[in-house]
Amino acid sequence: MTVKMIAVDMDGTFLNSQQEYDREKFSSLYQQMKQQNVRFVVASGNQYYQLKSFFPEIETELSFVAENGAYVVSEGQEVFTGEIDPEVVQEVLTILANFEQGHIILCGKNSAYVAEDEPTSFIEHVSKYYHRLKKVPSLFEVKEDTLFKFALSFPVEQVAEVLEQLNDALGDKVIPVSSGHGDVDLIIPGVHKAHGLMKLQELWGIQNHEIAAFGDSGNDLEMLKHAGFSYVMSNGQPNVKVAAKEIILSNDENGVLVKIEELLGQ
């Protein structure tokens, strides 16, 4: 058994439908991971400040590949920060103005930003995922931050079509990936979850075949292909199931923790 790093996506994977996890079971498994020198990495499209709130007792011991790899923090120390060229940010915002059904969050190192004319219901919903969220008169005016991701929200039934249109419209300026539930992230080319894991591997001297990765959505694909042991949840997207080596129990059946227990016991 050669797993030295366990990397988990959060929404739809590690977290159940109530945005929770079995804290007691995880705590016991985490102690085993520490004893076996296995690194536990949270790899999510979500904001670092939100992700660490799930692990209040151990956040300074963990590593986070946040914002789909654009912001990597290990044991409280910044390891990597991506940046979208400010001119590209302006170009992308101009293109997005044509997508009337969509809502936009502009994600930066210090905060995420949302236009103040967005519906209150949307702002309340996304504040669960962005613990640092600022309302601004216009996203075009956000200049004082390192910006590394756009998070878009569309009606679920439009996502496939929107992804296609965005791919055509954006070229290779930013890459659209689906992150589940009608959400689409625009990420820096080449900066994805697998890239974030590589940054941590360099720190720790861990090989690809020593990684176990868990995911459910399009933004997990690179990470699942990168890892020697790759697991997709039974509730995962069909195209993601094809990419993983094994389909496991759903996020509402403790799928990740059941598999981690098995991996640690081998």
* Residues near 112 by beta carbon (within 8 Å), at least 6 away in sequence: 47, 105, 106, 126, 130, 132, 133, 134, 151
Helix then strand then coil, in percent of the chain rounded to 5, is 40, 25, 35
Q: Is 9 a catalytic residue?
A: yes
Which two three-digit tokens encode residue 128?
């669960």
Which two three-digit tokens encode residue 28?
């016991």
Exposed e or buried b per residue across 177-208, where buried means at least 16 C-beta atoms within 10 angstroms of its C-beta? bbbbebbbbbbbeebbbbbbbbebbeeeebee
Q: Kindly name the residue from 9, 11, 185, 216 that is annotated as catalytic.
A: 9
Catalytic amino acids? 9
